[in-house]
Amino acid sequence: MASMRQNEVSIVRINAVSGVYLLCLLALPLIPSPTTVLHLQGSPGRYMKTVVILSALGCVTQILYQVVLAALDVYNETIGSCNATDTIWRQLGYQRLDDLNGINVARLVVPDVILLVVSVMVFLSCKYILTPPQTTQSASAEHGEPLSPVMERRPRRTSVVVEGLRSCNIMIFCALSGIILPSAISAVYFVSFLVVVTWWSFYQSWGRVFKSIELLWLIYSGAHVIILYIVQFQFFQELVPYDSDEGLNVPALVGLTPIIDSLRCDQGDDPRKIAIADTAGWTTLVNPWIVFLFYWFLGHEVQRWFAGPPFQVCAMSRTLA
């Protein structure tokens, strides 16, 4: 691989634990927003509990790993971080923290703590806000006052302009995903964009077929984001031949250009510190964010599609006889 810049990045960590958090993030736009306390017993509540449990396990296992290293007196041994055992543990998400500055220690440990605190606060806040006050209802019933209103769901009209803006937004990010970093993977976005807009140019409507296209885009872009994350791992960069005697960079043609240099051991550097690859231009840096935003908007649209037509809740008060 070409030479790497030694720009150390303190906001990124590439390991399996963070990969699990990435999967949770990809699932977020597919989860409906909780509007009542009953929703906390459904998929929104299960999702928040899952994130709390996973982040708690990340914190606990990280503490246990450091305790075991201290108990085995590993920190007093002069062992490099490039042996096979440390390489496996590092890619799983557990690393020695000796001889690291505060910024790198925080980069490796603090994300688990932040995610745990934020996920717990969000869950408790939703539970507090969505829980109706029981005392007010009971007091009203005793005095014959109006009870809590009976809620009735009625279909709500959707603005054609809003729907058009949503479709336009998705098509813009589809086009950006196809042109920001030309490759075989991004060609799928570009070709599908041309097909959709060409059909529209003939004043033809896709109808419900467009929702199926959005679902396919969602699956493809989600897999694309996961692949871009796996590309940053050391094992992947060791397996894939980025240097070719014929000068043909096949991974770059496919769209698997790494952003992070994970082969620092080959250069005699500390692999616990992250450096941006010299081959990573600004388009390589921006591409994952464009694809992720495309996935994010698609996730919300697909979730709305699965939830059915929107309804508005109307209150109909009643009194005791």
Q: What is the mean pLDDT of the chain?
A: 79
Distances (CA, A) of 223 to 137, 168, 185, 295, 297: 49, 23, 11, 10, 15
pTM: 0.82
Q: Which two tokens stand for residue 277?
A: 């690859």
**Residue 62 is which amino acid?**
Q
Residue 11: pLDDT band with limits 50, 70, 90: very low
Q: What is the pLDDT of residues 246-267, one digit of tens each?
A: 556 778 888 888 888 877 776 6
Mean pLDDT over residues 284-292, rounded?
93
Give residue 2's pLDDT. 41
Higher pLDDT, 83 or 117: 117
Q: What residues does each domain of the chain span?
A: 16-316
Least confident among 43-57, 146-160, 179-193 = 146-160
Q: List all residues 6 or more positions away from 139 whose beta carbon is below 8 Å from its beta carbon.
A: 145
Bridge-partner residues for 121, per DSSP? none
| Cβ pair 85, 68 in contact under 8 A | no
Quick check: 5 pLDDT over 50? no
- Could you give the CA distance from residue 266 to residue 238 in angstroms, rounded to a whole number? 10
Residue 173: pLDDT band with limits 50, 70, 90: very high
- Could you give the CA distance from residue 256 to residue 284 in angstroms, rounded to a whole number? 10
- Could you give the CA distance from residue 238 to residue 19 in angstroms, rounded to a whole number? 19
**Residue 270 is which amino acid?**
D
- Could you give the CA distance from residue 232 to residue 242 in angstroms, rounded to a whole number? 13
- Could you give the CA distance from residue 15 to residue 21 in angstroms, rounded to a whole number? 10
Distance in angstroms between the alpha carbons of the first and the last residue of the chain: 82
Mean pLDDT over residues 160-167, rounded?
77
* Closest to 258 measured CA to CA, from 226, 233, 221, 291: 233
